[in-house]
Chains A and B, each alone.
Chain A
Amino acid sequence: MAKFERKDKKELQAISTASLPDIVFMLLFFFMVSTSMRDTSLMVSNKLPEATEVNKLEKKSLVSYIYIGPPLKQFQTLFGTEPRIQLNDSFKGLDDIRDFIASEREALKEEEKPLLTTSLKIDKDTRMGVVTDVKQELRKASALKIVYAARKAAK
């Protein structure tokens, strides 16, 4: 006859946490693969406009960024509230764009130099005056391939 043995139930067994590191590592790898490192810290507020017809930027190494927008709160005492241009990690003027493009181009391989793309990340409240000036500078620097950065809107 089968005999049912009652286990000692006085003490609750602790939940094993041996798999916890594995779970966290899985999360970690997911984020490492799906994200990219932040290379600049934004100093301007940057609400991008929405567009439906956007396409993805393919090669990130070929892209250099120009940020335009009103400075963030902590910089407003120094730089005012008018939209300004940020290159790399500092506010720059229009004249610096050519040097910026030149140095970005220098960093690329010889065969990739003509493929340099400039992504214009422009706050949507900016007036076109600044944008037009920047575009003229880019034409002078013959960085003709540009991307107007925009968020993908639902159709």
Chain B
Amino acid sequence: MARKIPEVNASSTADIAFLLLIFFLMTSTMNVDTGLTRMLPPMPDPKQKQEDIEVKRRNIFTVLINKSDRLLVRGEPMEVSMLKEKTKEFIVNPNNDPNLSEFEEKDIPLIGKYRVSKGVVSLQNDRGTSYDMYMKVQNELVAAYNDLRNELSTSMFGRPFNKLDKKEQEAISKAIPLKISEAEPKNVGGK
């Protein structure tokens, strides 16, 4: 006698799945980590004698942020919105202005001879500067470099920087090195 096997009641699978779903929704986060990557300079060896690396004044682009979040760029007050253009002008120096950065001819694979800027951006802040402002300035400086890299890579390879392959990106990074120095902490204008 063939007996009919009763079907397993599956109506509770939905409830079980819902429970699991809610558990995962609660315990996990979706946010992708994004940020500005930076290398800190290594700590100077105390035994070694401090040797100041001589950098010509024209090659330094000083950006000071004071405790009330105001900018002083090369001795002149400036708005954040202007910073990107000024930085770009400083690095590229299209008219060979004696006040802006110097150049050094370098042979770079894939690009050939390129005049690499010797300019260094030096970012100094006060202890009272707000982090928000600091990040805005950092962002503008990186934006200036990224813009220049994109310009070069579109003229060289016909694609923006982030679409290039590893070798090409390396070449561009050599032609336009990201030189932002976060200076030793200083107390500018007291607390």
Q: Are B21 and A31 in contact, CB atoms less than 8 angstroms apart? A: yes
Q: How far is the CB of B123 from chain A (nearest CB, A)?
A: 11
Contact residues in B for A150 (Cβ distance below 8 Å): 34-36, 135, 139
Q: Are B34 and A55 in contact, CB atoms less than 8 angstroms apart? A: yes
Q: How far is the CB of B126 from chain A (nearest CB, A)?
A: 7
Categorize the interface residue count of chain B.
35 or more
Q: How far is the CB of A38 from chain B (nearest CB, A)?
A: 5
Contact residues in A for B35 (Cβ distance below 8 Å): 51, 54-55, 57, 119-120, 147-150
Which B positions have Cβ atoms within 8 angstroms of A? 10-11, 13-14, 16-18, 20-21, 24-25, 27-30, 32-43, 125-132, 134-136, 138-139, 142-143, 146, 182, 185
Which A positions have Cβ atoms within 8 angstroms of B? 17-18, 20-21, 24-25, 27-28, 31-32, 34-38, 49-57, 60, 63, 117, 119-120, 122-129, 131-133, 135-136, 138-140, 142, 144-152
22 residue pairs from A and B, CB less than 8 Å apart: A21-B14, A24-B21, A28-B24, A37-B29, A38-B29, A49-B135, A53-B143, A54-B34, A54-B35, A54-B36, A55-B35, A55-B37, A57-B35, A120-B35, A124-B132, A127-B130, A128-B129, A128-B131, A133-B185, A144-B41, A144-B42, A148-B35
